[in-house]
Structure 1
């Protein structure tokens, strides 16, 4: 906030200085009788600079282009809804009934605990989320969303990825031994309980919950460690600071499913969850490690797993439809895709 106020003061001071210089030149030319100076011309030029300054002040961000700029694409404007918060927080903790009915059946569990009691317990354990929706005309937040595709092999994107403000990774993605291609820094790591891995101390864990038990697991993993199995084994304990845990909103999940996926598949993939999240909290979004490799193989950059693309046939995620969404975002310059070298 102090930085923004400082910048605003500097720009206001610049305007006053321009007024002073213009007044001096007008008075000077009028008193000296020099014909080479035209007050009308100077006022015209000053008005143009002032108009540009006011336009810049009304801009949505300080990047050359801003993700949230409307009227670039009707397709985008019909889908993008900035009024829906991406995170579940102490102050954004009510899940609409229609959302809950959809969400609670994503990964069916027997006798789920009361959701309101679960959320209350959750935010007694972790603090309310930081404000990521702090955009404005003086912010240019550049984000890299790093997928797990084998097309990152030999890409040498590491330094380029690390140069971003936010660097988002997902699920089991390792960086050790792959730094040259995928970078070494991470700011936000998207997981669900079954995909949690050890994170560095300064990394924020963004939990994508698919069931009430996932929210209960967060509390358990930070306290008594009583939950060690959901539909698969999960860690009893996690070494993550409570201040570094964010929880993806079920309402935001359904918004992506309804508005972006148009109800294709059962629910979006972690990759699409990460991309749409980035559109809402970033000003410029670059995508790395999405799609197949140059030979058409769907596998991870750290393994040659022939079944890695099986999600495209299971029906859980509609991979082809998701690829179309990302392709459309690229075609209207809302994201930039780096396909590998």
Structure 2
């Protein structure tokens, strides 16, 4: 009799477990899956009225037509955050030397410790390491940092973005097919292997491809890309998704981001905790590449304007990017970035006019 009761109890627990699993699957299919992929007209929210587009254009035209003011963004930042001065950090690694501010003390993505040999090897392949020479003759530089936010969709700001001296894009944000909203010129594209554009048409032959190093294998990938040779199979296993294996650029077009930029953004500007030697990379809180790109612009440029930044987290059903239908709710599934802290930091920059927000998505 005891065996029969145990058998009945086991079957009951198993049935309960199966019921729970089916309920979880139902919740995913009915509640979660539609929030990411439900095929419907999710762009209606970004169908801007003619009056709204006119206001965006008038604001952008006013900002761009005003004479550029030397050192404007950095000086206003110093007033806003006197305890968080922006160091004059070289934006790119130069001559294969490890920057001295702190990148030699940290492993990627905050530094190059443990990657010195790979870094030296790739730097020997790059004929140029600093900013483009033509930028030195511009004088006062006005820059646009173009984010990938869906708020760009329908803005028709492309012509205004293209009037900037330096245009910084990030990750795989496409240009082809979206020129009317995002412009077509690119000066710098800051990315990492897994997020580099797959389409050859999204690489401007006059632009710089700037790699942010998140792991030592990223340097091996860039080495193969510059040499135009395939990677070893075992190296490919270290990427969390497939990476592009050919880029239509020459060696002179590649740069490696100085990871002091990432470290300063994470530890100094955002106040994230110091990484610990026992802590795995994916447990670290890191700035988004969008904020890293803004910090880069503050180092390179006299005036900085933003477009395509700002997520309405109260509307998780809205698109995340201007070029795909992944929803804002996807941001809630990751723990690598502190989106709320970044939002407050960006809002403070806009309020103090350290940067201008051309698309109006950044708010308190």
Show CA shifts across 1:50-83 (max 9, x none). xxxxxxxxxxxx8236335537654433223233
Match of 2:90 in 1: 85
Distance 1:326 1:129, change over 3 A: same
Counterpart Cα distance in 2 of 1:73 and 1:113:
30
Match of 1:222 in 2: 226
Counterpart Cα distance in 2 of 1:115 and 1:137:
34
Distance 1:134 1:68, change over 3 A: farther
Match of 1:18 in 2: none
Match of 1:272 in 2: 291
Paired residue secondary structure (1:320):
helix
Distance 1:175 1:309, change over 3 A: farther
Match of 2:40 in 1: none
Counterpart Cα distance in 2 of 1:138 and 1:73:
24
Using the TM superposition, give the Cα deviation of residue 254 of structure 1 relative to its aligned residue in structure 2, in angstroms: 0.8
Match of 1:66 in 2: 71
Match of 1:334 in 2: 354
TM-score normalised per structure 1: 0.71
Using the TM superposition, give the Cα deviation of residue 304 of structure 1 relative to its aligned residue in structure 2, in angstroms: 2.0
Match of 1:212 in 2: 216
Matched, 1:299 2:326: no
Using the TM superposition, give the Cα deviation of residue 121 of structure 1 relative to its aligned residue in structure 2, in angstroms: 0.5
Counterpart Cα distance in 2 of 1:89 and 1:151:
36
Distance 1:320 1:114, change over 3 A: closer
Q: How does 1:27-66 map to 2 (within 5 A)?
A: 63-64=68-69, 66=71
Paired residue secondary structure (2:290):
helix
- Runs (5+) with no aligned partner, structure 2: 1-66, 274-283
Counterpart Cα distance in 1 of 2:118 and 2:209:
19
Are the aligned partners of 2:77 and 2:349 in contact in 1 as well (CA < 8 Å)? no
Counterpart Cα distance in 1 of 2:356 and 2:171:
22
RMSD: 3.1
Using the TM superposition, give the Cα deviation of residue 96 of structure 1 relative to its aligned residue in structure 2, in angstroms: 5.5
Distance 1:328 1:132, change over 3 A: farther
- Larger gyration radius, structure 1 or structure 2: 1
Using the TM superposition, give the Cα deviation of residue 275 of structure 1 relative to its aligned residue in structure 2, in angstroms: 0.5
Match of 1:238 in 2: 247
Using the TM superposition, give the Cα deviation of residue 287 of structure 1 relative to its aligned residue in structure 2, in angstroms: 0.3
Match of 2:30 in 1: none
Show CA shifts across 1:89-121 (max 9, x none). 216x215696455434779xxxx9952211210
Which range is displaced more, 317-326 or 232-241?
Answer: 232-241
Counterpart Cα distance in 1 of 2:320 and 2:106:
30
Counterpart Cα distance in 1 of 2:135 and 2:163:
20
Match of 1:259 in 2: 268
Match of 2:143 in 1: 143
- Runs (5+) with no aligned partner, structure 1: 1-61
Counterpart Cα distance in 2 of 1:70 and 1:331:
15
